[in-house]
Amino acid sequence: MTFNRIYVHEDEIVKLFETLPHPQNIPVSVLHSFFVKGDTMGFELGEYDLEASGLYPDLEFRTIDQLLDIFLTSPPDRAAAAFE
């Protein structure tokens, strides 16, 4: 199995979430915020903040690269898409 990269210009994504009717525009705007703008990455943890692995020490955390390797060699059963 191989993954093909498809590059979509940011303007196309913005136009899509501006023209789609509500609530169909919500997943597109959330994905734009996360993956294009990087809104979930622009902060530092403070003195009293906890990183997720500290909250759940009994769970093994994996990187996205590790998960993609797992999915390529042993894909999970088909599931409903998160955004249909």
User: CATH top-level class for 10-41+48-73?
Assistant: alpha beta
Closest CA to 83 of 9, 19, 32: 32
Burial 41-79 (b: 16+ CB within 10 A, else e): eeeeeeeeeeeeeeeeeeeeeeeeeeeeeeeeeeeeeee
pLDDT tens per residue, range 42-73 = 778 888 988 878 888 898 888 888 888 888 88
3-state secondary structure of 34: helix
Average pLDDT of the residues in 3-17: 88
Mind listing the pLDDT tens digit for each residue in 12-44?
Answer: 999 999 999 999 999 999 989 988 888 887 778
| Helices vs strands, H then E, count in the chain | 4, 0
The structural domains of the chain, with segments of one domain joined by +, span: 10-41+48-73
Distance CA 67, CA 46 (A): 28
